[in-house]
Structure 1
Amino acid sequence: MTTADKPIKLMLTGGGTGGHLFPAIAAAQELCGRIPGSKVMFIGTRRKLDKTSLLEYGYEVKSILCFGLKGKNLLHLIKAVVALPLGFIQAVIHILAFRPDIVVGVGGYVTGPVVAAARICGKKTLIHEQNSVPGLANRKLGGLVDRICISLPQSAGYFPSEKTVITGNPVRKKLLELAAAPERKCDPAKKTLLVLGGSLGAHRLNELVSEALCHHGVSQPFQVIHQTGAADCQIIRQKYTENLIDARVEPFFADMSEIYAAADLLVSRAGATTLAELAVLGKPAILVPYPHAADNHQQRNAEYYVEGGGCRSFAEKDLSGRMLAQQINELLLDDDQRKIMAAHMKELAVPQAASNIVDVCLALISD
């Protein structure tokens, strides 16, 4: 059998947020769809989000002892450094047991010891960077791995040019199918605002949106779908109920295809994976980048899509509920402007990103 038809063993590592996990899932789906019989093992953190998201797709999931380093206090740093050798050994054990053809890191602190262990074990290695500004783990691994796949052109300068490839950011299969399907609405008589604070929620964004909608209002029939995170779910739901706002409020939405399908406009953080999904689906958005993201990468992510004409972006510190209400009103009322923004988002999309990454993996394996 050739590399093109021989089942592949793919080891993925990374995680901690949906932004890291979902591109990994998309790449795994592409590989398994293209080469039946291929096997996938994911090595991640012990966070519940990692395990539940991956087990749903039927992938084998392992974890290692590992803690983040960046922005931590001295005690946490000592704990993280002490845990590194054990995490590295655990990674080696998983690699020797699974015997992957290639190990792909998708970012997050767990990526470091696993990809380093893969290199020591003589395995082909690749990292994928979703953001415009790479995280600490990927920056350190750039000189070590065989190939580097990036999503946005801005991050190219952080890595050796001779092994860096722009592939785009993979989007899950269900969302690609949605992008190709006719638009559907749950209530065509109402415009739908979708609010996404990220898989872990965003307290200040929740406050701004609820203030905008409850105290300043929208001047036409509308409904809101709001992902709040666990901490704010009840209080935001209560605010909407008290103000007679047609709202669906949940801590986290598992089926994003249904949610995206309903949306006319989004208010969202500026995580790379969310933006890649919005681009593929052609969804206009008001972005409020998370101000404490490492190296301010969400702001840089947002700039790329704003410059492309698909989004508007506002710094959280400069935004009030009144200002946000004005922006929401303006865009919900202006169908033509939303259509223009949607078209620009589509122009920035890379729907074949997962296929591009699998192509790079297969080329490495066949070397």
Structure 2
Amino acid sequence: MSVTRHYVLAAGGTGGHMIPAFALASELLARGHQVALVTDSRGEAIPGVPDGLSVHVLPAGRMQGGLLARVKALIAIWNGRSMALRLLKEIEPSAVVGFGGYPALPTLLAARAAKVPSVIHEQNAVLGRVNRFLARSVAAIATAYEKIERMPAGTADKIHLVGNPVRAEVLKLRDRPYPAFSENGLLRVLVTGGSQGATVLSKVVPDGLAQLPKSIRHRLQVTQQCRAADIDTVREAYQRHEIPAELGTYFEDMAERLADAHLFIGRAGASTIAELTAVGRPAILIPLPSAMDDHQSANARDMAEAGGARSIRQDRFTPEELSRQIEAMAADPETLGNAAHMAWNCGRPNAAKDLADLVESFGGAPLMDVIRVGKSAAPETSTQTAGAGA
């Protein structure tokens, strides 16, 4: 018989933090637990809140800028901690789970003061600053990658490799075969730059696609997410190159578009990598150079080394280089299909369940050990074609 417990999740700021929090919340709710989410005003605005999840908005400062800005941030963090303490006393959770970022900090500080066990989940291949600050004091550290940079000394026994939970609508596409691709068929390319788009993609991708050999160029069918300020310029570029393209600032059916794509071009955010590997779609990744601690370059490493992606530094991301990389991947249908399969093999489709198992171990059975790094940490692999089409 399952036992209903209370859990508090702390996340906010960006979809990269909120999406795995939503996925874990959905899994815990499905197991009969009660779950509350503590977030900031930005996190509250992100769509996808699961039914049954109670949401609490607390102040959270960011330790950036000059002295005055940092003092204000510390005051906001302290006020948020005080409010979170009251919430924890009311809810009495079995554990608090933080997903990184400054919006999670007040609640995790409150958990430490209230002696509530806490777990942190790191979505990136570089431990974020808040998670780095808390790593020694939490009970467990859940990771999305086997190798995590900036992990403090003395924390190895706390590390559990679970992967990065993805949206349910993406996960259900994992067993959809890679779209049929032949020497004469369409080559569907999906281009996105994250939630806000990326001007560099708008500048480079149309011209790069135009430089492809005619045998590939005339088969292109492009879907590109653009910034609102860029969309007219991008449309004119595709019209000039006579390449059919559907453009938009936001696509509600992005999961389906990803499943239908033969090739993805975009950033290397944690959620992007998790979704590409969940569905099994090959990619050309351009890590965001301004990402904290250059974590997007680290995120892209595993997928690129496995053969599921090509990673191009932004300062080397030119139309000529993009064209060269696409031609290397797409000139032979078998090459692109193999890349799709390698991407699929990098996926960790049980991330939400494994993270929920870890979280449930607090207040119940002893701390789980089955997914500790170095034991059963290998990702799912397959020699079959399901979900990868290779």
Counterpart check, 1:291 vs 2:286: no
1:306/1:115 Cα in 2 relative to 1: closer, same or farther (>3 Å)?
Answer: same
Hey, what's the Cα distance between the residues in 2 that align with 1:229 and 1:32? 36
Matching residue of 2:156 = 161
Q: Which amino acid aligns with 1:12?
A: L
Q: How does 1:3-22 map to 2 (within 5 A)?
A: 5-22=2-19
Cα distance, 1:286 vs structure 2:
0.5
1:125/1:75 Cα in 2 relative to 1: closer, same or farther (>3 Å)?
Answer: same
Matching residue of 1:281 = 279
2:217 pairs, out of 204, 216, 219, with 219
Q: Which amino acid aligns with 1:136?
A: R
Cα distance, 1:58 vs structure 2:
5.3
Matching residue of 2:314 = 316
Q: How does 1:99-178 map to 2 (within 5 A)?
A: 99-155=92-148, 158-159=151-152, 160-178=155-173
Counterpart check, 1:78 vs 2:71: yes
Matching residue of 2:56 = 62
Hey, what's the Cα distance between the residues in 2 that align with 1:352 and 1:46? 30
Hey, what's the Cα distance between the residues in 2 that align with 1:17 and 1:238? 31
Hey, what's the Cα distance between the residues in 1 that align with 2:227 and 2:244? 19
Q: Which amino acid aligns with 2:124?
A: N
1:205 pairs, out of 201, 221, 242, with 201
CA deviation vs aligned residue, 1:200-219 (integer Å, no higher than 9, x gap) = 32222332223323576852
Q: 1 or 2, which has the higher helix percentage? A: 1
Hey, what's the Cα distance between the residues in 2 that align with 1:212 and 1:98? 54
* Matched-pair identity in %: 33
SS in 2 for 1:84: helix
Hey, what's the Cα distance between the residues in 1 that align with 2:219 and 2:168? 32
Matching residue of 2:36 = 41
Root-mean-square deviation (CA), in Å? 2.5
Cα distance, 1:129 vs structure 2:
0.5
Cα distance, 1:329 vs structure 2:
3.6
1:145/1:284 Cα in 2 relative to 1: closer, same or farther (>3 Å)?
Answer: same
Q: Which amino acid aligns with 2:311?
A: S
1:50/1:289 Cα in 2 relative to 1: closer, same or farther (>3 Å)?
Answer: farther
SS in 2 for 1:158: coil
Cα distance, 1:264 vs structure 2:
0.4
- What are structure 1's unaligned runs of at least 5 residues? none
User: Would you say how many aligned residue pairs link Structure 1 and Structure 2?
Assistant: 359
SS in 1 for 2:41: coil
Matching residue of 1:28 = 25
| Mapped contact 2:164–2:351 kept (Cα < 8 A) | yes
SS in 1 for 2:9: strand
Deviates most, 301-310 or 204-213: 204-213
Matching residue of 1:339 = 337
1:8/1:208 Cα in 2 relative to 1: closer, same or farther (>3 Å)?
Answer: farther
Q: Which amino acid aligns with 2:363?
A: I
Q: Which amino acid aligns with 1:152?
A: Y
Cα distance, 1:183 vs structure 2:
5.0
Deviates most, 97-106 or 291-300: 97-106
Cα distance, 1:97 vs structure 2:
3.5
| Mapped contact 1:175–1:257 kept (Cα < 8 A) | yes
Cα distance, 1:350 vs structure 2:
1.1
SS in 1 for 2:166: coil
1:184/1:320 Cα in 2 relative to 1: closer, same or farther (>3 Å)?
Answer: closer
SS in 2 for 1:139: helix
Deviates most, 213-222 or 310-319: 213-222
CA deviation vs aligned residue, 1:2-21 (integer Å, no higher than 9, x gap) = 5xx12232221122222211
1:18/1:41 Cα in 2 relative to 1: closer, same or farther (>3 Å)?
Answer: same
SS in 1 for 2:188: strand
- TM-score w.r.t. the length of structure 1 is 0.89
- TM-score w.r.t. the length of structure 2 is 0.84
| Mapped contact 1:26–1:170 kept (Cα < 8 A) | yes
Deviates most, 102-111 or 175-184: 175-184
Hey, what's the Cα distance between the residues in 1 that align with 2:240 and 2:340? 33
Hey, what's the Cα distance between the residues in 2 that align with 1:363 and 1:274? 29
